Amino acid sequence: MRLERLGPYLWEIPADAKPGMRVPARVVADDGLIGHLRSDASLDQLANGATLPGIVRAALAMPDIHQGYGLPVGGVVATDAEQGVVSPGAIGFDINCGVRLLRSNLERNDVAPKLQALADGLYAAIPTGVGSKSRLTLRPRELDDAMARGAGWAVDAGLGYASDADQIESNGALDGARPESVSAQARERGLRQLGSLGSGNHFLELQIVDEVYDAGAAQRIGLREGLVTVMIHTGSRGLGHQVCTDFLKSTEQALRRYGITVPDRQLACAPAGSDEARAYLGAMRAAANFAFANRQVLAHWTREVFARVLERPAERLGLVTVYDVAHNVAKIEDHEIDGRRRRLIVHRKGATRAFPGQPVLVPGDMGRYSYVLLGTDKAMAETFGSTCHGAGRLMSRTAAVKAARGRNIGRELAAQGIVARATGRDALAEEMPEAYKDVREVVGVVHGFGISTKVARLKPLAVIKG
């Protein structure tokens, strides 16, 4: 794939590099991270994304880009809200896989004597692993309410603080959710999974703020060096996966009907005004709201565990929401294109919204660190208000397990002072630090390019994995 350098942190695949491309494809990366892309199909997938009807300006990839389904993980595609299309494969299976950060008023010495007990308590309280089921069992009407109202449903059910919603993207609920567009199979999968972490790269992590880069910004969002935080990374579980599966089928069937040709069936799409697109967007928003509610429930149970283990009321421990940000969603947004405002459908797949002044949460791997950033005006100009969502994988899970043979990843983490609890024989091996890019390099690129700026770095103390 022909790749031309536009600047220190920007590369371009020209629009004539592949038949059918309507716009260029651009990658935010430096020399080192570009080198990782030569061994997978992510650049080819990004060029495929540039063929979508109605695409605006360019198909974009953040520095955590790696091969995915249809569009690469780390991809951003904006299409015209009237003349463009909607593509489930450009959003992903784990709809609103996202990150919540809680800050406490505790320091390392407050938790160090109870770190093992906190890890054990969280592991016992929060269902993890493939197919894990929640302690909650929802009635169908409650599930509809959660899909319609998101985090607000959980708060009204006594699972959290009313103030939580103020610090969640879209206040914890996407407008326009249509629970009636969610299939019976997806509903069945969701009835017992609201309040579960899941598997793969999902985690709950106790951390400490070990470095502050922007003292003023950190103070505004309540962070300071030495403070204990909790990061929760999970999404819409089996319900969201099934929504994507269902609508990949319906949009693929619609391609011929609307006369649309795509180079990869995984990028099947439907015109923005079509019945298929409206149904998908309604179901996608419902799944996203389910995910917001899921992280809200897990945050509430985290507070309960801290209160029990540390023998103090949760209110005295702090544990307030710094922010909760989504990735793997499409949102209708207004952006300036060629000097005029246009309404767009911004597909972010493994990419995080980074509007000016908005906190951005970027998890790394469980052995190194995660970051808190702020969105910028430049992100609005360059990337439709988007930035990276994590470190990005270097190895497949199968390759990681193979590379970890003969090693005890849990023991290696313990040697670094990190307590790990995981479900499944290979859970830690699949997610070992070497399976990921160094998130410091990824964050260095988005900071250097100016699409988000560093506020603080968080180091892990204990991690709960599925």
pLDDT tens column, 275-292: 999 999 999 999 999 999
Give me the pLDDT at residue 17, please.
97
Task: Express the helix, strand and coil content of the chain in percent, nearest 5 each.
Answer: 40, 25, 35
CA dihedral 347, 369, 293, 420 (to 10 degrees): 130
Which residue from 368, 348, 347 is spatially nearest to 443, judged by alpha carbons? 368
Flag whether pLDDT at 424 surpasses 90. no
Of the chain, the end-to-end C-alpha distance in Å amounts to 37
> Which residue matches tokens 């509430």?
300
* Average pLDDT for 207-227: 98
Report domain extents, the chain. Answer: 4-465
Q: Is the pLDDT of residue 307 over 90?
A: yes
Please report where in the chains the tokens 């780390």 appear, as a residue. 74
Range with the lowest mean pLDDT among 33-37, 264-268, 342-346? 33-37
Q: Could you tell me the sign of the dihedral formed by the alpha carbons of 415, 420, 421, 422, in that order?
A: negative
What pLDDT was estimated at residue 8? 96
pLDDT confidence band for 453 (50 / 70 / 90): very high
Confidence band (pLDDT; 50, 70, 90) for 268? very high
Six-digit token pair at 198? 């899941």
Q: For 47-86, what is each residue's pLDDT tens digit?
A: 999 999 999 999 999 999 999 999 999 999 999 999 999 9
pLDDT value for 273? 95
Between β-strands 320-326 and 98-107, what pairing exists: parallel, antiparallel or unpaired? antiparallel
> 39: Cβ–Cβ under 8 A, 6 or more apart, which residues?
none
Mean pLDDT of 406-434: 92
* Portion of the chain with pLDDT greater than 90, in percent: 95
List C-alpha distances in Å: 333 to 95, 101, 288, 347, 353: 18, 25, 17, 10, 11
List Cβ neighbours of 218 (8 Å cut-off, separation of 6 or more): 209, 212, 224, 372, 455, 456
How many Cα atoms occupy the beta-carbon half-sphere of 273 within 13 Å? 4
Angle between the N-to-C axes of helices 237-258 and 275-310, in degrees from 0 to 180, rounded to the nearest 10: 170
Give the model's pLDDT for residue 253: 96
* Separation of alpha carbons 360 and 374, rounded Å: 5
- pLDDT recorded at residue 63: 97
Whether residue 425 is predicted with pLDDT greater than 90 in this model: the reply is: no
**Nearest Cα to Cα of residue 51 among 13, 81, 10, 92:** 13
Contacts of residue 128, defined as CB under 8 A and 6 or more positions apart, other chains included, come to 196, 197, 198, 199, 202, 422, 423, 464, 465, 466
pLDDT in tens, 157-203: 999 999 999 999 999 999 999 999 999 999 999 999 999 999 989 99
CATH number of the 4-465 domain: 3.90.1860.10
- As a whole number, the mean pLDDT across the chain is 96
| Residue 25 dihedral angles phi and psi, to the nearest 5° | -120, 130
**Is 389 a catalytic site residue?**
yes
Q: What is the mean pLDDT of residues 423-442?
A: 92
Geometric angle at alpha carbon 56, from 53 and 57, rounded to 5°: 135
Each residue of 122-169: pLDDT tens digit? Answer: 999 999 988 888 999 899 999 999 999 999 999 999 999 999 999 999
* pLDDT for position 131: 82
Task: For residue range 92-121, list pLDDT tens digits in order.
Answer: 999 999 999 999 999 999 999 999 999 999
Please write the tens of the pLDDT for every residue from 6-63. Answer: 999 999 999 999 999 999 999 999 999 998 887 789 999 999 999 999 999 999 999 9
Which candidate in 36, 66, 233, 389 is catalytic?
Answer: 389
Predicted pLDDT at 129: 87
Outline where DSSP puts E strands in 81-172: 85-86, 98-107
Q: Given this model, what pLDDT does residue 36 score?
A: 84
